[in-house]
Structure 1
């Protein structure tokens, strides 16, 4: 619906600066609020055909939902798509930020962020919590192994074939727990790191089980089952894509989806010269990391389709398309390697193409 008055909101945890701008009359009004959506909504309603906007960021979607519930047309603008003049970047205040947002909304240059429903946002949070738990485990293992290294303990056991045994197995843990340091304080520190590492691993395992339970729910299961047909994609990755994307058909093309993930080349072209660089990395960092990890599987994968896991229910045409994607990805990775591309470059290109196939399969499932 067309609007008349553009409202810019500079939102913080405890305060909101508002600026109302009517481009037809030139009228500008400003107001400061505590974080009180009802007061903000009442003020906005006093203007002719208002529409409000605030920047995406750490404040999330709460204010947008509250204002919408109170009858205010409110959107969230993608901060990464807003180009501020150099003067505004050098002189930044809450008042100026609110006025900038109001002007951008009046000009129609605001790129609106998709607002998920509360269930989808909650599933995103538990998916990202599992990512945080994984990082915690890595950090705990790093602290423990480096403390042992400082005291001269290095796990260097070999098997009967002379190969070095892997770390963090039962044998490795038994070796760690057999260590006794001479100084009581050092032993107490070691005990702490061992306990913290054990607890981090248990917490990650428990959270992974909860993610799997949510992934099997009726809302997410069709997409999760279909995406798991790609090699390198299991429950955690498939669930992350389903809830982070919240509708693959939102994107007009596979290229647009890859761009949203930050997997397209950067560019600095002028006149007849075209210069492309590394990927933009401007999109969803969580999904981009999962894609890059999944893409490494295609360095050694075969062209045969991946067998559906027990309990997976996928329409035959979707399964055939996923199998076609697996063959294409394996061939693409082999061609890149044969062309002499560096492994990381080849993997990034594979991740980009995997994103396109995931988008296609996701759209097919949504159309069912």
Structure 2
């Protein structure tokens, strides 16, 4: 912090930017509001009039990283502050406006004891890939939600799918047999029939949309920027092309994390901690940070109880012997750990899945770092 003379806190909105700046050497403060299409350019011109060197900070949110990239390209340092790491007092919550928010940001930036975290600013290409990967996640969620609407509607009308296998397990839904059963249903009211047809049609539309977005993800994953990482991460059990692309896009740069524990903190799979004096208590996972990747990894662990200790099939692409060895070791370790947690330690299946997902994130980080080193070595040679 000592290398900066002026700190600028910016409360950024779609059509305005409210700023508060402070000179830590003299204590002098300035306030300014910018609006309109050229608000970022006006902000840059104003920052250059302040005593330097200066740094700008604003909260993460729906405005994204565009302003941070534009300021950095013009030689003005900028950091995006994780909004959840800025402390808010009861007074701050009771009296809120743009100027007070900007003042709270600059107050934290100028504090010698740093209490906030800065978000990593991705490039435009990395952010675009991240948005595509998240679009695929949302499309799959829409398919799931639309299917649930059909099931709930049928239950209200006294119909429930109950076809079972020879072993007594419930057969899967939305198969050919399930659709035949759907078409055979007759409801009492013509309007209810119309509603059911629309709900089923909505499922079909969303499944088509999900398939189209999956094709876009698979096409993007073949680009040179992502293919080495996707090929390597697909060697891990429970990770397909879409999950591998999501992980690569969300990480952006694997080596930005100094340790595996920081990765677990980032996806929110570490336990909560409440300690005071000699008392110490741990709770459920924090669920902080990247929810997209956390959910994807936990869902990828749902088949752990049926997973076999076999070598995973290779998809088209090249994986170095070092990555192959790491992936094989990871698959063996995670399967063995899951079985110990469930069969020997008596942990619930859900707790075991979360524990394995947390370790999976660390293995993804380790494999990604290895690929980054290989890519860097090949670029230098």
Q: Which band: TM-score by shorter chain?
A: over 0.9
Shift of 1:252: 0.5
Does the Cα contact within 8 Å between 2:59 and 2:83 map onto a contact in 1? Answer: yes
Cα RMSD after superposing both structures:
1.9
Shift of 1:164: 4.4
Shift of 1:55: 0.3
Whole-Å separation in 2 of the counterparts to 1:161 and 1:260:
42
Does the Cα contact within 8 Å between 2:264 and 2:270 map onto a contact in 1? Answer: yes
Choose which of 207, 214, 236 in structure 2 pairs with 1:208: 214
- Matched residue, 2:81: 77
Q: How does 1:205-354 map to 2 (within 5 A)?
A: 205-309=211-315, 311-337=316-342, 338-354=344-360
Does the Cα contact within 8 Å between 1:322 and 1:361 map onto a contact in 2? Answer: yes
Whole-Å separation in 1 of the counterparts to 2:90 and 2:188:
61
- Matched residue, 1:53: 57
TM-score, normalised to structure 1's length?
0.94
Q: Which runs of 5+ in 2 are unaligned?
A: 375-381
Does the Cα contact within 8 Å between 2:86 and 2:105 map onto a contact in 1? Answer: no
Does the Cα contact within 8 Å between 1:257 and 1:355 map onto a contact in 2? Answer: yes
Shift of 1:53: 0.4
Structure 1 residues 274 and 151: alpha-carbon distance in aligned structure 2, compared to 1, 3 A threshold: closer
Shift of 1:48: 1.3
Choose which of 369, 372, 376 in structure 2 pairs with 1:363: 369
Structure 1 residues 237 and 162: alpha-carbon distance in aligned structure 2, compared to 1, 3 A threshold: closer
Structure 1 residues 273 and 182: alpha-carbon distance in aligned structure 2, compared to 1, 3 A threshold: closer
- Matched residue, 1:136: 142
Tell me the alpha carbon deviations over residues 318-365 of structure 1, each in whole angstroms, 9 at most, x when there is no partner. Answer: 101110111111111111111111111111111111111111111111
Structure 1 residues 247 and 69: alpha-carbon distance in aligned structure 2, compared to 1, 3 A threshold: closer
- Asked if 1:17 is matched to 2:36, the reply is no
Whole-Å separation in 1 of the counterparts to 2:283 and 2:166:
48
Whole-Å separation in 2 of the counterparts to 1:282 and 1:158:
39
- Asked if 1:64 is matched to 2:72, the reply is no
Does the Cα contact within 8 Å between 1:231 and 1:297 map onto a contact in 2? Answer: no
Does the Cα contact within 8 Å between 1:215 and 1:224 map onto a contact in 2? Answer: yes
Q: Which moved more, 1:356-365 or 1:290-299?
A: 290-299
Shift of 1:156: 3.0
Whole-Å separation in 1 of the counterparts to 2:63 and 2:19:
16
Structure 1 residues 95 and 164: alpha-carbon distance in aligned structure 2, compared to 1, 3 A threshold: closer
Does the Cα contact within 8 Å between 1:20 and 1:28 map onto a contact in 2? Answer: yes
Does the Cα contact within 8 Å between 1:76 and 1:112 map onto a contact in 2? Answer: yes
- Matched residue, 1:28: 29
Whole-Å separation in 1 of the counterparts to 2:164 and 2:264:
44
Q: Which runs of 5+ in 1 are unaligned?
A: none
Shift of 1:180: 4.3
Whole-Å separation in 1 of the counterparts to 2:326 and 2:148:
41
Whole-Å separation in 2 of the counterparts to 1:156 and 1:335:
34
Shift of 1:70: 3.8
Shift of 1:92: 2.3
Q: Which moved more, 1:62-71 or 1:244-253?
A: 62-71
Does the Cα contact within 8 Å between 2:21 and 2:30 map onto a contact in 1? Answer: yes
Tell me the alpha carbon deviations over residues 136-176 of structure 1, each in whole angstroms, 9 at most, x when there is no partner. Answer: 11111111222222223333345677764321001211222
Does the Cα contact within 8 Å between 1:305 and 1:327 map onto a contact in 2? Answer: no
Does the Cα contact within 8 Å between 2:301 and 2:353 map onto a contact in 1? Answer: yes
Whole-Å separation in 2 of the counterparts to 1:151 and 1:78:
47
Shift of 1:191: 2.0
Structure 1 residues 145 and 297: alpha-carbon distance in aligned structure 2, compared to 1, 3 A threshold: closer
Whole-Å separation in 1 of the counterparts to 2:150 and 2:299:
25
- Matched residue, 2:378: none
